[in-house]
Amino acid sequence: MQSEILHSDIVIVGGGPVGALAALRLKQAGRDVLLIEARARDAQVRDARALALSWYSREQLAAVGAWPDDLPATDIDSVHVSQQQAWGRTVITRDDLALPHLGAVVDYPALTHSLGEALAAQGVPVLWQHKVSAVQSLARYASLTVGDADGRSRRLTARLVVLAEGGALAESLPGIQRHVHDYQQTALLAEVSTSLPHGNIAYERFADAGPFALLPHGERMMLVWTRTPDDAQRLCAADEASVLAELQQAFGERLGSFTAIGERAVFPLLLRQLNRVVSGRVVMIGNAAQTMHPVAAQGFNLGLRDAVALTELLAAAADPGDAALLRRYAAQRRLDSHAVVGFTHGLIQLFDGANPLLKQLRGAGMNLLDSLPPLRKRFASHLVFGV
């Protein structure tokens, strides 16, 4: 069933954190914006991820009212990088950048709820429980076919469509191709308890069986461990004592002993990146543009920087879908996106395996970074603020 045609200056598809941030920033700039989200407004978000946000990302969310004082988040003040059974380590601290904190860890459902509250409080129009089945870019506007939960469909038009949903819509557009690299790896997620307090330190450990991160998460730590698919499934099903013993051996005793592990979840690891992020009057940001390996916790922060950069250009644009404007956005984001994707992909290649010579080279590199404050500060700045 087809109903009336609706029009909005800018339509954002995808109400996750990246799309919601873009909508809130455009609303603050006085733009006519509509957000479309597939889930219901009050639906429970089932996502086990804990997000490691940089200080810059945290500040952007705070600026749109999505980081209230009571948001359950844990500060990151230091990042400790090391490798198993080999010398060499790097420690990055908030003092390197003269910041209150390097970042924070927040559960995905908690942040999504906070953004939903901000959208409602600031009167951002949202079509909840609607799915976009098609998008088409024409000379003067873009067109979307949108269906609701009851099977009714409608046509929407906009001068610009922003895809932030990470699905297959982008690949239906002219000139758009998605490069996919399967790492043949799976991430194991679980909350773990330790006998010593974490002291707001995040750990990146390159272990022989696969790199892992330990993120401060309340009084506990959130584990994100890269393993082979079979290993991840084995650890997901194994008894608690076995998993804790394996983790203890890989990490050591900087946090004392691992005393408990919570519910475990797994997800496959892929690199997905578009060959271009603009097609006519449609632009892709966040997961619609790229998804990457979680080893350096950069993917989500990169997506938020996409939203900030795009909305800064759109704030006072006479035509938000102007081709020259969108070319400028694509050029601005190309360096940051390619640098972060390349850095993350390179880490996986560099730290994959337990070759003794390679371990020595890696250790020398980490010690060099640690011993040269200007180099370490520049590296830290790229992690927090982008390239």
Strand partners, 12: 35, 162
Around Cβ 136, how many Cβ atoms within 10 Å? 17
Residues in the chain: 387
pLDDT for position 1: 40
Prediction pTM value: 0.92
Structure tokens of 360? 């020595």
In this structure, is the dihedral angle defined by the CA atoms of residues 285, 147, 115 and 268, taken in order, positive or negative?
Answer: negative
The ranges assigned to domains in the chain are: 2-49+106-179+271-350
> pLDDT tens digits, the chain, 387 residues: what are they?
445 668 999 999 999 999 999 999 999 999 999 999 999 988 888 787 889 999 999 999 999 999 999 999 999 999 998 887 766 788 999 999 999 999 999 999 999 999 999 999 999 999 999 999 999 999 899 999 999 888 899 999 999 999 999 878 999 999 999 999 888 889 999 999 999 999 999 999 888 888 899 999 999 999 999 999 999 999 999 999 999 999 999 999 999 999 999 999 998 988 889 999 999 999 999 999 988 877 667 788 999 999 999 999 999 999 999 999 999 999 999 988 888 877 777 666 666 656 666 777 777 776 777 777 887 888 777 677 765
d(CA 385, CA 333): 13
d(CA 305, CA 73): 20
SS3 letters for the chain? CEEEEEEEEEEEECCCHHHHHHHHHHHHCCCCEEEEECCCCCCCCCCCCEEEEEHHHHHHHHHCCCCCCCCCEEEECEEEEEECCCCCEEEEEHHHCCCCCCEEEEEHHHHHHHHHHHHHHCCCCEEECEEEEEEEECCCCEEEEEEECCCCEEEEEEEEEEECCCCCCHHHCCCCCEEEEEEEEEEEEEEEEECCCCCCEEEEEEECCEEEEEEEECCEEEEEEEECHHHHHHHHHCCHHHHHHHHHHHHCCCCCCEEEECCCEEEEEEEEEECCCEECCEEECHHHCEECCHHHCCHHHHHHHHHHHHHHHHCCCCCCCCHHHHHHHHHHHHHHHHHHHHHHHHHHHHCCCCCHHHHHHHHHHHHHHHHCHHHHHHHHHHHHHCC
Angle between helices 55-63 and 17-28 (to 10 degrees): 50
CATH class given for the domain over 2-49+106-179+271-350? alpha beta
Among residues 221, 258, 273, the alpha carbon closest in space to that of 74 is found at 221
In this structure, is the dihedral angle defined by the CA atoms of residues 268, 174, 36 and 30, taken in order, positive or negative?
Answer: positive
8 Å CB contact between 299 and 187: no
Q: Which residue has the tokens 């991430």?
A: 187
Give exposure, 20-58, as e/b (b: 16+ Cβ within 10 Å). Answer: bbbbbbbbeeebebbbbbbbeeeeeeebbbbbbbbbbbb
In this structure, is the dihedral angle defined by the CA atoms of residues 74, 75, 80 and 81, taken in order, positive or negative?
Answer: positive
d(CA 381, CA 148): 43
d(CA 24, CA 34): 10
8 Å CB contact between 205 and 296: no
